[in-house]
Copies of this chain bind each other. A is one copy, B any other.
Amino acid sequence: MRRRVGVWLFGARGSVATTTIAGAAALNHGSPPAGVVTELPAFASAGLVPLDQLVFGGHDVVGTPLLKQVERLVAGGVLPVGLDALITAELAEADRNIKVVPDSAAGQDAVVRRMAEDIGAFRLRNDLSHVVAINVASTEAPYDVQVAGPAELRTALGEREVLPASSLGALAAFEAGAAYVDFTPSTSIRPVAVREWAIEKGLPYGGQDAKTGETLVKSILAPMFAARALPVHAWSGTNLLGGGDGATLADPRAAESKSISKERALAELLGDVAGDVHIDYVDPMGEWKTAWDHVLFSGFLGVRMTLQFTWQGCDSALAAPLVLDLARLSALALERGHVGAMPFLGFYFKDPIESTEHSLVRQYDELVRWVHSC
């Protein structure tokens, strides 16, 4: 019996979502699966849903057709020349599965209900065995959630504004029986009440804040200093980025969410280390991102040494294959009846849920072990 998995994207017309949807189509047309971890041999026998059985839908606040977004990404060097013409049909199909975020005037409980209905309809219409909802919307500012448990939350939702948009999306996913993964550092599943809601529904959740650039490199490099007993005195970083993500992070409150995620890994890997992390919005960078990091450490008898790195990448192109991975892996968790946090996905995140392991290699090994654990 054929098994199809739905991938419901919050922020479904943004750069990451567009690259994910266009990329999945390109893979079905024969592109090699660069960056898709679950296509590595280590995952071959795991029984993951095939990539061509993923069906895309989602919510967004804007209505720009995906084709238009794809053309923009082709011109920006993110997607290959000629791809737009090749995958017009797939883009049109996904367009039909993308709904506008409901108006918040009717109250937050109504928003959750309406979004859950959208997800449910998507499941029925496409005959899906499972749905995984993934938040790839813009980073929100930190939000102070005041409710303690699911019961209190349920009441409060009908009365006043108690949650930010990302958390409403998470609740909608759970109401619709979907797994939920937060690709961003937004509030979403941070509140205990939201997590307990998932557990009551018997569903898994994961996140947060995918590591695709500077933090990815940090999480591979920092263990070197630890293993070699080289004291790191200062780790300084500057991130230059344009595009939608850059513009969002030009808002200092959203940048705050991001910076907190970014710094957690280093602190847990190396302890207390001096140095700032800057996130600069540089509009002419377009979809591209450059990170420069400077690590000051000492060797034997205190002699000072440095390691610097410069990372130049395209965030959407780094993120999109990970979205495909997370969809497949969360679908597997659903099939296995996993309930609650998915710490075995820590490999993907700056701020891994219920995990303090930040060494990329150990996170990878943990993921592979989980995949083969049943």
Q: Which residues of A contact B (CB under 8 A)?
A: 19, 23, 26, 31-37, 39-40, 74-75, 77-81, 83, 216-217, 220-221, 223-224, 227-231, 233-234, 236, 238, 240, 274-276, 278, 280, 282-286, 290, 292, 294, 296, 298-314, 317-318, 320-321, 347, 359-362, 364
B317 lies within 8 A of A303 (CB): yes
A-B contact pairs, 8 of them (CB 8 A): A34-B231, A34-B302, A37-B227, A77-B303, A83-B301, A234-B283, A284-B296, A305-B314
Q: Which residues of B contact A311 (CB under 8 A)?
A: 305-307
The answer to whether A224 and B228 have CB atoms under 8 Å apart is no
Q: Which 6 A-B pairs have the closest CB atoms?
A: A233-B284, A361-B361, A299-B317, A220-B224, A309-B309, A305-B313
- Binding site secondary structure of chain A: mixed
Contact B303 A294 (CB under 8 A): no
Which residue of B has the minimal Cβ distance to A307? B311
Contact status A314-B299, CB under 8 Å: yes
A34-B229, A305-B318 known, 6 other contacts, Cβ within 8 Å:
A31-B301, A79-B301, A284-B304, A300-B318, A305-B314, A310-B310
Q: Determine the chain B residues whose CB is within 8 A of the CB of A301 once the complex forms.
A: 23, 26, 31, 34, 79-80, 83, 317
Tell me how far the C-beta of A341 lies from the nearest C-beta in chain B, rounded to whole angstroms: 22
Are A318's CB and B299's CB within 8 A? yes
Are B228 and A217 in touch, CB under 8 angstroms?
Answer: no
| Residue from A39, A275, A303, A310 whose CB has the most chain B CB atoms within 10 Å | A303
Do residues A39 and B234 form an inter-chain contact, with CB atoms below 8 A?
Answer: no
B229, B283, B308: which contacts A35 (Cβ < 8 A)? B229
Report the separation of the CA atoms of residues A282 and B360 in the bound assembly, to the nearest whole angstrom: 27
A19: shortest Cβ distance to chain B, in Å?
Answer: 7
CB distance from A274 to the nearest CB of B (A): 6
State the CA gap A296–B229 with chains docked (Å).
29
Q: Cβ of A321: which chain B residues have Cβ within 8 Å of it?
A: 229, 299-300
A229 to B36, CA, bound (A): 6
Task: Give A302 Cβ to nearest chain B Cβ, in Å.
Answer: 6
A254 → chain B, closest Cβ, in Å? 17
Query: Within the assembled complex, what's the spacing in Å between the Cα atoms of A4 and B223?
Result: 32
**Which residues does chain B contribute within 8 Å of A77, judged by CB atoms?**
77, 303
A347 B284 Cβ-Cβ under 8 A: no
Among residues of B, the one whose C-beta sits closest to the C-beta of A361 is: B361
A328–chain B nearest beta-carbon distance, Å: 13
A13 to B: closest C-beta gap in Å: 18
Residues of B within 8 A of A32 (CB): 231, 302
